[in-house]
Amino acid sequence: MGCFKDSDLMEEKNKAIKMWTDTDSKSNPSFYKIAKSIEYWGFREDAPTFKQVFERYIDKPFEAGSDITAMDFKKLQEGIKVFASELRKPGASLSNKVLKSLYIGKNYSEHNPITRRFW
């Protein structure tokens, strides 16, 4: 008989994905505000943005075989909260804070040939 209980990694991954996409206020009201601000900016279905936020806050590549743990997804959940709060602030359209959440990270700068020497 197989195992029917999700692992900690799957539970934390599902929480992070729900924080990013769940705009149904009835299912989980705590994620509603976060997901609505992400959807307002058009990042809900944007996989590259999710990947960049992941790499920014986890400092690991979002790839298969990069040894991602449940703790990494817990850090990502906190990063999503920060990212969504920065999006809700007035004047966030081209602000430095939104760009920091997306593009500045040690891991990202190491793997990008353009920014490798810049950061």
For residue range 77-107, list pLDDT tens digits in order.
998 988 888 888 766 555 565 666 665 556 5
Note the pTM of the prediction, 2 decimals: 0.71
* 69 or 118, higher pLDDT: 69
Domain residue ranges of the chain, discontinuous segments joined by +: 8-111
More confident of the two residues 17 and 117: 17
Q: List Cβ<8 Å contacts ≥24 apart for 8-17.
A: 8/70, 9/68, 9/69, 9/70, 9/73, 11/70, 12/70, 12/73, 12/74, 12/77, 13/73, 15/73, 15/77, 16/73, 16/76, 16/77, 16/80
Segment 30-56 mean pLDDT: 84
